[in-house]
Amino acid sequence: MTRRVLIVEDEPEVADLYRGYLSGTYDVTVANTGAEALDLVDDTIDAVLLDRRLPDTSGSEVLAAIRDRGLDCRVAMVTAVEPDVDIVEMGFDLYLVKPATRDDIQSAVERLGTRAQYDDTLQRTASLVTKRAVLEAERTPAELRSSPEYEELVDTIDSLQSEMDDLASAFSPDDYRMLFRDLGPSSTSESA
């Protein structure tokens, strides 16, 4: 299945450039305003490349509307706006500062796809692990050993954990560190 990408960019030349970078691999749609983007974005869109400065609204308002709708697409801000602390409150997945090269754009969409797959697999695995824990707390080991459903559950969990390992290996080292970094300051930054 071809992933769908929505490019939200008010400069038609830049939008066409990004479309050219992605066409052939992805199903690409372009919006030149925030209003147009909000008309086009729905649950069939997998990734959004979103400019922060649009003629009719800000990219952060478009992003907030996407998140408020509960859409499960991944969003990369692709913008000339240097990041500041205001980004802390924004619900994007990646932030690219323009100018963005072909490699930047292609890599961003690939990374968004990997993150989406990982998130889905992680959620499914967590749900099944919870079910396994409940069964193990409420049933004897003998009852569980004689249950084909329990064995299938364990096999599915093992398979999903292997899939997560494979997906995690697709992350760049920076992505992986961002996903699993400590919430507090690192010991290396404290000692530096």
pLDDT for residue 48 is more than 80? yes
Backbone angles phi, psi at 86, to 5 degrees: -60, -20
CB 92 within 8 A of CB 108: no
Give this prediction's pTM.
0.67
Q: Print burial letters for 137-175: b (CB count within 10 Å at least 16), e (below 16).
A: eeeeeeebeeeeebeebeeebeebeebbeebbeebeeeb
Task: Give the confidence band of 54 by pLDDT, cuts at 50, 70, 90.
Answer: very high
Q: 24-28, 127-131, 157-161: lowest mean pLDDT where?
A: 127-131
- The pLDDT of residue 89 is 67
Angle, alpha carbons 187-83-181 (nearest 5°): 25
99-151 pLDDT, tens digit per residue, is 999 999 999 998 888 777 777 777 677 777 877 887 888 888 898 888 888 88
Secondary structure (3-state) at 110: helix
